[in-house]
Structure 1
Amino acid sequence: MKFTEPWERQRLCSLLENAVSREAMMWKAYVPKKPSPQDTDISPAQRDEAVRWLAEVHGSLQLYPETLALAVSILDRFLGPIKARPKYLRCIAIACFFLAAKTCEEDELVPPLSVLAGSSGCDCTVSEIRRMERVILDKLHWNLHTATPLHFLQIFHALLVCGGSMVLVGGSRSQHLSLLTRRLHHCLADHTLTQVRGSMLALSLISLELESCCSDWLILTIDLLSKAKMDSRELIRCREQLSRRLSTQRASLPPNTLYIYHPRQDPPRRAPPPPAPGSTLSTVEVMEVDDFFDGIKRLYNEESEPPAGSVSPCPPLQPIPAP
C-alpha cells in the first residue's frame, strides 16, 4: 500500500518522537576510565580498538548495519558502570555482537556461536561467551532495545527525502544512506564522540552533509532540530567536533598510496598597463591584483614554488630496461 506524503511525514515524526523518548530514558554518556598501572580497567583507546575489531567482524559476515550500531551501544552501556579487565574485552565485545545479531538479524542469518567464535579470532570458547552474555543481560536488565545513532540517522534522512530535499541524494537514496552509515560507523570507534547523544551525533552528520551540497542547509537543519527538540548550542559543538573527526578520516591515506607528480604550469601573466601620461605611480602601485594575491598565498605557504635547481619529491619515471 502506498501512502500519501503527509501521512508518511507524520509517521516519521512519530518514530522520531518515540526514539527521542527512549533515548532519554536509557542513554548515559560513556565516561572514560582513568588509566591505571594495575591494568584493572579498560581504557578508552582499548574500547576504540574493540569497536574497530567488531567492525571488521561485521564486514566479514555482511550483516545489517543495525547490528553493528546496536553492538556498540550495548558495549558502551555495559562498560559504563562496571570495571572489567582488558583481557576480557574481546569476550565482552563478541558477546555484545552476538546479542545484537540475534536482535536485529533474521534467525537464519544469525551465525552459529561456534562459527562466530572461530572466525572472529576472539580467543574465547562458546561457553565463555554464553556466560558473558548472561552477565551483560543481567547488568542491562535484559533490555537491549535502545535507540542507536543509526536509528536517528535513518529517520532524519527519510524526513529530508520525504520533504523533497532531493539534492541531498547524489545517486539513489539507498546509496547515499549507505555512505552516511559508513561514516557513522567510523565515528562510533571514537570514544570522544560518545559524550554526546546518538540523536545529536546523527543530526550533526546530516547537517554537515547538507552544508556540503545544499544552499538552504541551515533551514533544513533547524527544522530537524525543532522536530527532535534538541539544543542548538550542543549541535554547534558536536558539528565542530565531528567535522574535525571526519576531516582527519579523509586526510588519512593508506601507506601504499600512489602519488603522481604533475608540474604546475602557470598561466601567462598579462603585462601591466602603462602609466597614464604625467602619472607619478611607481611599479609597486600599478601591480595587478592577481600578483598581490599570489604574494599573499606564498607568504602563507599556500602556493609555494620549489626553488630553482631543487629536486622534485617524486622522481621521474624511468623506462624498464630491456632484458
Structure 2
Amino acid sequence: MWKVNVLKISTNQSVSPAQRDAVVRWLAKLKHQFNLYPETLALASSLLDRFLATVKARPKYLNCIAISCFFLAAKTIEEDERIPGLKVLARDSFCGCSSSEILRMERIILDKLNWDLHTATPLDFLHIFHAIAVSTRPQLLVGLPKLSPSQHMAVLTKQLLQCMACSQLLPFKGSMLALAMVSLEMEKLIPDWLALTIELLQKAQMDSGQLIHCRELVAHQLSVLQSSLPLNPVYVYHPLKHSLATCDRGVCRSHSSSSPGPDLSKDNSKPEVPVRGTTVFYQHLLATTGCKHASAKRKVEEMEVDDFYDGIKRLYNEDNASENMGSVCSTDLSRQEGHASPCPPLQPVSVL
C-alpha cells in the first residue's frame, strides 16, 4: 500500500544532473561523518529529488536545499539522541548557510511537499525484495559462506546508495531500481535467478521491458564504480645478478642484467607491476653525488665504519680516489661479498 513516487524531470531545471549527483555524494559523506542510518540518506535524496522536480531552484541554493532535506530526513528516521544539532550540522557540514537559513528552507520544502515525508524509498523496496529472495531461496548465500543475510544486505545497501547518486536512474521507480539490483545479485549467486526475478516482477506489477533497461544501467553504473576504485599495487623485489656503475665526464650510468628465472612481477590478469631492485637505489646514490670522489670520501670518513658503509666505500672505489676526475671510474659490484651486509637477503614474494 506504499505510495510509489514517480519523479517528473523538469526540462527547465537550472540545476544540472552533474550538480545534483555531486550534492548527493556530499550528503553521503555527511551520513558517514555523523554516523547516521542508510535510511536517512535514502530519504534525504528522495526529498531532494521531489523538491527539485517541483521547484525551479538556482544552483547557488542547492547546498542549502540539500542540507535542509538531510536535516528533515534525520528528524524523521533517527532516534532523538542521534539527531545532530542544527548549529552543529550547519558548522561541521560546511554548507555555507546559517541555522536560520536552514530553518527557512526547511519550511519551504515542507510546504512544497505538502508535509508528506513518508514516501517509500528504493532502500525500503530493497529490504522487501531481499527478504523474499532469501526466504524463498535458502541456497542464495551458499556461495558466500562468510556473509550473513544482514551483512549481504549491507553490501547491497551500499551499492544502492551509490546508484542513487546517478541522475540517469531517476526516471525509474524506487521499486524498479531495487528489483534490478536484487536481480543482478541473484544472477551471480543462484542458477534459477530468472524464475525468481519473474516472480518478484509479478508481485511488484512492473513492466519487464523497463526492468531490462534498468538492469543495464545499474550494471553499467556498478562497473564504473568498481573500475574507479584505487589500485593496490604490489612491488616485488627482483634480484640482479650484475650491476655496474660507471662515471664518464660527470655523467653517471648504471648497467644491470637481471638474473635468469621467471619474472614474478608479471601477471596475465593484472597490469604489469614495476619492480624496484638494488639498481634504482645505487643509481639514486650516484645521481646525488655526481661522482665527486673528494666530497664522497669526506662523507664516508665522517660516518661510522661498519660492514654496511664498507660496502658503499668499495662501491665508490675509495682506494683509487686520487686518480684524475676525467678518467673513467668503474666498480664491479659482483666482486663484493655476497653476504657482506648484516641484513638478511630479500626473498621474492609469491604472486597469487
Same fold (TM over 0.5): yes
Q: How does 1:107-122 map to 2 (within 5 A)?
A: 107-122=80-95
Letter in 1 for 2:9: Y
How far does residue 162 in structure 1 lie from its aligned partner after superposition? 1.9
2:241 counterpart of 1:241: no
Q: What is residue 232 of structure 1 aligned with on the other side?
A: 208
Match of 2:57 among 60, 71, 84: 84
- Deviation per CA, 1:227-247: give whole Å up to 9, x if none: 111111111111111111111
Larger CA deviation: 163-172 vs 241-250: 163-172
1:181 alignment partner AA: T
User: Higher strand fraction: Structure 1 or Structure 2?
Assistant: 2
Residue by residue over 1:52-111, the C-alpha shift from the partner in whole angstroms, topping out at 9 and shown as x without a partner, is 000000011111110000000000000012111111111000000000000001111111
Alignment partners' CA distance in 2, 1:195 and 1:31 = 11
Local SS of the residue matching 1:80: helix
Deviation string 1:94-135 (CA, Å, 9 cap, x unpaired) is: 000000000001111111111111111101100000000000
The answer (yes or no) to whether the contact 2:39–2:123 under 8 Å persists in 1 is yes
Query: Over the residues paired in the alignment, what is the CA RMSD in angstroms?
Result: 2.1
Name the CA shift for 1:33/1:27 in 2 (closer, same or farther; >3 Å). Answer: same
Residue 161 (structure 1) aligns with: 134
**How far off its partner does 1:27 sit?**
2.4
Q: Distance in 1 between matches of 2:26 and 2:184?
A: 27
Aligned length: 250
2:20 to 47, 68, 75: 47
Measured at CA, do residues 244 and 32 of structure 1 come closer, stay the same or move farther in structure 2, by a change above 3 Å? farther
Q: Which residue does 1:200 correspond to in 2?
A: 176
SS class of match (1:195): coil
Aligned to 1:28: 7
C-alpha deviations, 1:241-287, integer Å up to 9, x for none? 11111111111132x6425573359xxxxxxxxxxxxxxxxxxxxxx
Structure 1 residues 138, 264: CA separation in 2 closer, same or farther (over 3 Å shift)?
Answer: closer
Distance in 1 (CA, whole Å) between partners of 2:96 and 2:224 is 32
Aligned partner of 2:195 among 219, 235, 243: 219
Question: Is 1:262 aligned to 2:241, yes or no?
Answer: no
TM-aligned CA distance change 1:31 to 1:67, over 3 Å: same
Equivalent residues in 2 for 1:56-205, closer than 5 Å? 56-168=29-141, 170=144, 171-205=147-181
- Note closer, same or farther for the CA distance 1:242–1:101 as it changes in structure 2 (3 Å cut): same
**Contact 2:266–2:273 under 8 Å retained in 1:** no
Deviations 1:199-224 (A, max 9, x none): 00000000000001110000110111
Distance 1:214 1:205 in 2: 14
Q: Which has the higher contact order (CA 8 A, sep 6+)?
A: 1
1:27 partner SS:
coil
Decide which structure has greater helix share: 1
**Aligned positions of 1:283-298 closer than 5 A:** none
SS in 1 for 2:44: helix
Contact kept? 1:32, 1:43, Cα under 8 Å: no
C-alpha separation in 2, matches of 1:30 and 1:185: 20
- The TM-score normalised by the length of structure 2 is 0.67
- Checking the alignment, whether the CA contact within 8 Å between 2:31 and 2:41 is kept in structure 1 is yes
2:131 and 2:218 mapped to 1: Cα distance? 21
Residue 160 (structure 1) shift: 1.3
Q: Distance in 1 between matches of 2:212 and 2:7?
A: 20
CA distance in 2, matches of 1:110, 1:146: 20
Structure 1 residue 43 displacement after superposition: 0.9
Q: Tell me the distance in 2 between the aligned counterparts of 1:258 and 1:164.
A: 39
Larger mean Cα displacement after TM superposition, 154-163 or 136-145:
154-163
Question: Would the aligned equivalents of 1:54 and 1:68 in 2 still touch at CA under 8 Å?
Answer: yes
Aligned-partner SS, 2:170: helix
Structure 1 CA distance for aligned equivalents of residues 136 and 272 of structure 2: 50
TM-score w.r.t. length of structure 1: 0.73
Q: What is the DSSP-based 3-state SS (H/G/I as helix, E as strand, rest coil) of the residue aligned with 2:131? A: helix
Q: 8 Å contact 1:30–1:76 — kept in the other structure?
A: no
Distance 1:229 1:167, change over 3 A: same
CA spacing shift, 1:165–1:220, aligned 2, 3 Å: farther
Please tell me the residue identity of whatever aligns with 2:69: C
User: CA 1:174–1:32 in 2, change beyond 3 Å: closer, same or farther?
Assistant: farther
The 1:314–1:264 alpha-carbon spacing in structure 2 relative to 1, beyond 3 Å, is: closer
Question: Identity of aligned pairs, percent?
Answer: 52
Larger Rg: 2
